[in-house]
Amino acid sequence: MRSPKSRPMRLRRPVLIATVIVTAAGSLLFTPPSATADRRPPVREGSASAKGAAGAPASAARNALTAPVTDLSASASAGGYPREQVLTPDPENPADKSIKLGLTPYHGIAPKLNALQRLGDRVSVEVAGRSAGGHRLYLVTVTAPESARETRAQERMRELIENAPRTAAKDSAVKKTYKTPVFFNSNIHGNEWEGTDAGLKLIERLATAHDAKTTDLLAHNRLYFNITANPDGRIAGTRANANGFDLNRDLITASQPEARAMRQIEIDKQPAVMLDLHGYVNGTLIEPATPPHGENYEYDLFLKNTYANALGMEAAVNGLGYTPAKDGVEPAQIPFRDQQEGWDDWPPIFTPQYAAFHGTVAAHTVEIPLTVNNSAYDTLPVDELRRRSAINVDVAGAAMRATLDFAQSHRTSLIADQIELFRRGATGAPQVPVSAETVPGVPGIGPEDVYTTDFPRAYVIPAGPAQRSATAAARLVDHLLAHDVRVTRATRDVRLAGRSYAKGSYVVDLHQPKRGLANVMLADGRDISAKVSTMYDISGWSLGRLWGATVERVRSGSLSAVALRAVAAATRVGYVAPRGDLRLRLDTPQEIAALNSLLRQGVSVRRTADGNALVPSSARPKADALARAYDVVFDATKTTGGTLLHPTRVAAAVTAGELFALREMNFDVVPVSTAILNAGFDWSSADVLFVSSGLDHTALTASARTALDAFLGIHGLVGRGATGAAVNTAAGLLSVRPVEGNGDANGVVRVVNSGGPVTAGAPDHSFVYAPLWFTDLGPGVRVEQSYATGDPLVSGHWRALEDGTGGPTAAGGQASVVSGPHAVLFGTEPLFRDHPKGEFPQVGRALLAVSRTW
């Protein structure tokens, strides 16, 4: 279930599609599926014919996408369906947490998939990638057999729907023969297991049933099953993957390989319908969700289809006959109809909400009913756990089967709505606000459900002096491209909406099929504090404000006279001045990572007063290698002096996202916690302590507290949030009074940087989650950054508490980051879930500034 808040690339070919696939008569060449299509023999896993093309991003270092993701569409060139392969079994693991529930352990999945492929000619298996822990991610396709020619025709029609939607809407072959893609995503939270088993049962039924209904279903649909989106968590019984990430919060940031695999499935398969199977809410919860609704959706199309499918799933689940008295199962619920607020679909970070931006017009979270995880897993008898899990498998299966019925009976309208979604984006058509007239048949639509946005004409990521960071800009462009957002580049100086931009500037034209995705990533977002009293998860996330690149909004105008060229990757910016000493700006995570690499190699790097790094000319060969690896710039400098730096080892009591971000910046990190310190931690190898969670000074033993205080008496502390501030107070380092804002608040805020070594040149926006500020500043305390005066919230949800305190206006003008000789404290959250890349260097600089080497 959604928990309460807690602390490779393929560019579509838009200009080639129609001419390649449309005949002179305007129709597609296509041969209907045939049951006698040639079948290819199964291949061994890992052989050339079993592999798809690698879709690695243009710059793995600058995007931190180090694990290649299979481009599943590329494997179409291997032939038609089925695409069978013999999977190598995994070693048996008796510790797999699925076993206790009577469910399929991860090591049992590969043998099952091998057996399912042997049942006939309908089941295909591909490896969509690997998890953070190295486990295979299996994508199963179930459909009627296709020859290679038939498969190519299906792929051409899929491309036509996105890239030439007007043509697709008129094409008779699309209406008659295009197979509707339906996607089932299971087990994204590792300890919400049963969707996997329901999927395996459904695949077996579809593989063996020969009734007319099943035959017709598979002739007109392709069904995709991501068997377990989180095998690490499935095995360990944890919500998160092996890196500690909640994958259902990572779709926009895409820091994790599992999220990137799901992203690629969305891009390559373009599902019209998808189900994301979770647990546990009793009765079964079936989206559509409550307000606020994502303002970048074509929500009229989305609500029409999600509500209709939800009704079918509700009937199927309730039709199983489970009752509260006999089985402990409550009737199913649909939040849009049955709840006022609190289960929203506002942020794009959840899998179904993200899918909507790739053309999925019916996307649902389904929460199956009976709890078997967390304390229930440890305390309930095995028989009771297995009873519950069996019911959950049954409920998940009912939701899946109902979705197939919906996809089959609404096949034509679903594809028509997907075409319309892409048409609106490509032509810049206005959104259609939901109402009883625009979405007939959905009861209870009111003004509280109307969320639309003002799409700009374009965004510009400038080149030249107008760009804060060419490295950050390149990273942002590559990230947009990896999400299938189209980006162009100016081939000469251009003028847009009265402003001039240098040659090489990137332009994101919002007249593109996936304009909603482009806008939801780049726009500021909205302050929705007054709209609803509570939000389910984060409410602001702007890459345009938080990723460190200058991004400008072009509200209106024409691009027809602008010289633009589509790009498949950002132009690399890495450079080393040919002579003299070098300066490395520390404005991006990549630059911090390059600095840490130099320090580890023994280079004598010095820090300037404004927080940048001076590199001696003798290190030019090393700088050359790092410029290529991290796409960073070492420019010439005549600056001298500065403070000598040394490698910094960080003892870190932090969240999983922060730990991941620290390692992304190439810091040597050793995790610590209250328990680790109480067990006896060797502080001799640490240079600085970073604390944001998991370390309670009051819960330390006397010896652990003495050791910690002795360390902090010599070395430094970087603290974030209330936990970091509490350690600072206990150690008596900075004389400040931390003030906690509303703990439920989050979003993008305006900030003012002082120009000190921690925040010099930092972006003028930051991210907060349970925001904090500092007052009563004592001697020696420097304000590194403040919240902007007035109301600093740009987008998100931040209300005052009932007594009037803790709101954004109370934070306005107050110190958000403070420093002293041995400590830096953050009231913002600059590493949140590995997301706000432009804020990372503030933490990197702070760690270097207060380590024992300074």
Whether the per-residue pLDDT at 744 is higher than 60: the answer is: yes
Task: Give yes or no: residues 244 and 388 share one domain.
Answer: yes
Task: Give yes or no: residues 700 and 639 share one domain.
Answer: no
CATH, residue 639: 3.30.70
749: enclosing H helix or E strand: strand 746-753
* Distance set, CA 729 to CA 691, 708, 738, 781, 825 (Å): 13, 13, 9, 13, 11
Last-in-domain residue among 566, 586, 620: 566
Distance CA 135, CA 28 (A): 40
pLDDT band at 611 (very low <50, low <70, confident <90, very high): confident
451 inside domain: no
Lowest-confidence segment of 107-111, 479-483, 820-824 by average pLDDT:
820-824
Q: How many CB atoms lie within 10 A of CB 195?
A: 33
Model pLDDT, residue 42: 56
Whether the per-residue pLDDT at 25 is higher than 80: the answer is: no
443 inside domain: no
812 inside domain: yes
Strands 290-293 and 344-345: parallel
pLDDT tens, residue by residue, 308-364: 999 999 999 999 999 999 999 999 999 999 999 999 999 999 999 999 999 999 999
Tokens matching residue 601 = 């190699």
Distance CA 537, CA 174 (A): 39
How far apart are the two ends of the chain, measured CA to CA in Å? 46
Contact 752, 709 (CB under 8 A): no
Task: Give yes or no: residues 653 and 532 share one domain.
Answer: no
Model pLDDT, residue 469: 98
Model pLDDT, residue 596: 98
11 inside domain: no
Task: Give yes or no: residues 661 and 738 share one domain.
Answer: yes
Contact 851, 648 (CB under 8 A): yes
Task: Give yes or no: residues 550 and 614 share one domain.
Answer: no
Domains held by the chain: number:
4
Question: Considering only CA atoms, which of 151, 103, 149 is closest in space to residue 124?
Answer: 151
442 inside domain: no
pLDDT tens, residue by residue, 396-441: 999 999 999 999 999 999 999 999 999 999 999 999 999 999 999 9
Residue ranges with strand state E in 358-502: 362-368, 458-461, 488-490, 494-496, 499-501
Tokens matching residue 846 = 């702070």
Tokens matching residue 834 = 């590995």
Q: Is the bond preceding residue 575 a cis peptide, omega within 30 degrees?
A: no
Task: Give yes or no: residues 390 and 489 share one domain.
Answer: no
Q: What is the DSSP string of 777-796?
A: --TT-EEEEEEPSS--EEEE
Model pLDDT, residue 299: 98
Which domain does 625 fall in, by range? 575-644
pLDDT band at 609 (very low <50, low <70, confident <90, very high): confident
pLDDT band at 13 (very low <50, low <70, confident <90, very high): very low
Tokens matching residue 607 = 């820090």
Model pLDDT, residue 79: 87
Query: Running DSSP on this structure, what letter comes out for residue 665?
Result: T
Distance CA 297, CA 353 (A): 9
Question: Considering only CA atoms, which of 510, 661, 482, 675 is closest in space to residue 589?
Answer: 661
Contact 581, 636 (CB under 8 A): yes
Task: Give yes or no: residues 514 and 618 share one domain.
Answer: no
Task: Give yes or no: residues 472 and 343 share one domain.
Answer: no
pLDDT tens, residue by residue, 635-665: 999 999 889 999 999 999 999 999 999 999 9
With 0-12 CB in 10 A as exposed, 13-18 as middle and 19+ as buried, what is 355?
buried
Alpha carbon 175 to chain centroid, angstroms: 33
234 inside domain: yes
Question: Considering only CA atoms, which of 652, 505, 664, 690 is closest in space to residue 591?
Answer: 664
Distance CA 170, CA 174 (A): 8
Contact 138, 227 (CB under 8 A): yes
CATH, residue 268: 3.40.630.10
Q: Map residue 540 onto helix, strand or coil.
A: coil
pLDDT band at 32 (very low <50, low <70, confident <90, very high): very low
Strands 746-753 and 793-797: antiparallel
Distance CA 605, CA 645 (A): 6
Whether the per-residue pLDDT at 55 is higher than 50: the answer is: no
Cβ neighbors of 115 (< 8 A, separation 6 or more) are none
pLDDT band at 561 (very low <50, low <70, confident <90, very high): confident
Distance CA 665, CA 632 (A): 13
With 0-12 CB in 10 A as exposed, 13-18 as middle and 19+ as buried, what is 190?
buried
Exposure pattern of 704-730 as b/e (b: 16+ CB <10 Å)?
Answer: bbebbeebbeebbbbbbbbbbbbbbbb
Whether the per-residue pLDDT at 717 is higher than 70: the answer is: yes
445 inside domain: no
Tokens matching residue 794 = 């740009």
Lowest-confidence segment of 65-74, 217-226, 289-298 by average pLDDT:
65-74
Alpha helices in 319-381 (DSSP H): 324-327, 335-338, 351-356, 374-379
Cβ neighbors of 117 (< 8 A, separation 6 or more) are 42, 82, 84, 85, 123, 124, 125
CATH, residue 670: 3.40.50.880
Tokens matching residue 475 = 């990273």
Contact 785, 816 (CB under 8 A): yes
Model pLDDT, residue 45: 61
Model pLDDT, residue 735: 97
Tokens matching residue 128 = 């969509």
What mean pLDDT is predicted for residues 166-189? 97
Distance CA 617, CA 605 (A): 11
pLDDT band at 61 (very low <50, low <70, confident <90, very high): very low
Instruction: Examine the residue annotation and report whether 367 is marked as an active-site residue of this protein.
Output: yes
Q: How many CB atoms lie within 10 A of CB 819?
A: 27
446: enclosing H helix or E strand: none
Contact 544, 523 (CB under 8 A): yes
Distance CA 280, CA 535 (A): 19
Tokens matching residue 137 = 């991610």
Q: How many CB atoms lie within 10 A of CB 524?
A: 15
Lowest-confidence segment of 22-31, 236-245, 385-394, 542-551 by average pLDDT:
22-31
* Distance set, CA 53 to CA 49, 129, 200 (Å): 10, 12, 27
pLDDT tens, residue by residue, 251-289: 999 999 999 999 999 999 999 999 999 999 999 999 999
Model pLDDT, residue 854: 38
pLDDT band at 3 (very low <50, low <70, confident <90, very high): low
Task: Give yes or no: residues 496 and 585 share one domain.
Answer: no
Contact 483, 263 (CB under 8 A): yes
Model pLDDT, residue 763: 97
- The rounded mean pLDDT for the chain is 92
Alpha carbon 418 to chain centroid, angstroms: 23
Task: Give yes or no: residues 386 and 505 share one domain.
Answer: no
Q: Would the CA dihedral through 693, 694, 696, 702 be positive or negative?
A: negative
Cβ neighbors of 642 (< 8 A, separation 6 or more) are 606, 607, 608, 609, 614
Give residue for tokens 């990638």: 129
Whether the per-residue pLDDT at 578 is higher than 70: the answer is: yes
Q: Which of 162, 194, 367, 591 is catalytic?
A: 367
Tokens matching residue 332 = 């199913």
Last-in-domain residue among 534, 566, 598: 566
* Distance set, CA 500 to CA 56, 490, 565 (Å): 34, 11, 17
280 inside domain: yes
Model pLDDT, residue 72: 57
Tokens matching residue 733 = 């380092």
Last-in-domain residue among 583, 617, 644: 644
Tokens matching residue 742 = 């509303």
Task: Give yes or no: residues 547 and 600 share one domain.
Answer: no
Query: Running DSSP on this structure, what letter comes out for residue 523?
Result: S
Q: What does R_g of the chain's alpha carbons equal in angstroms? A: 27
Task: Give yes or no: residues 623 and 490 share one domain.
Answer: no
Question: Considering only CA atoms, which of 618, 668, 671, 628 is closest in space to residue 646?
Answer: 668
Question: Considering only CA atoms, which of 756, 607, 715, 723 is closest in space to residue 655?
Answer: 723
Tokens matching residue 47 = 């052989």
